[in-house]
Amino acid sequence: MDGCGSSLVREPLPADRAAEMARMFKALGDPVRLRMLSLVAGHDGGSACVCDISPAFDLSQPTISHHLKVLREAGLLDCERRGTWVHYWIVPAALQQLSTLLSDELAPVAV
């Protein structure tokens, strides 16, 4: 079993799956990173350049880069360099994993 469809209601998450999900939740636990993810998700064309992200925050460029790196390392964002700028986009599979886990957990259990 790969754990992708597992629910805590039915069985405990395997340790490696729990660690992966915890990294994602921890990354989203910071309000700046949650806003960044939302900004990228809502950007026209499905990707946002650092030059589109930075003006929305009163933070230094190194701090912006740090937060984006945390989101990348958690598997929530991916990126590529285009000329002098780096463009970021959401990893749909990561959001689906979070959604599946949460929707399974929030669904009422028949007793």
Cα of 37 vs its chain's centroid, Å: 7
Q: How confident is the model at residue 36 (pLDDT cuts 50, 70, 90)?
A: very high
Residue 8 has which token pair? Answer: 């805590």
More confident residue, 46 or 105: 46
CA atoms of 88 and 8, how far apart (whole Å): 32
Residue 3 has pLDDT above 90, yes or no: no
3-state secondary structure of 88: strand
For residue 104, the model assigns a pLDDT of 64
- Residues present in the chain in total: 111
Do residues 26 and 74 touch, judged by C-beta distance below 8 A? yes
Q: Which amino acid is located at 65 in the chain?
A: S
Each residue of 43-65: b (16+ CB within 10 Å) or e?
Answer: beeebbbbebbbeeeeeeeeebe
pLDDT tens by residue, 45-102: 889 999 999 999 999 999 999 999 999 999 999 999 999 999 999 999 998 988 888 8
Which residues, in sequence order, are CB contacts of 16 under 8 Å at separation 6+? Answer: 3
Do residues 82 and 75 touch, judged by C-beta distance below 8 A? no
Ordered by where they begin, the domains of the chain are: 15-100 (1.10.10.10)
Residue whose structure tokens are 């957990």:
105
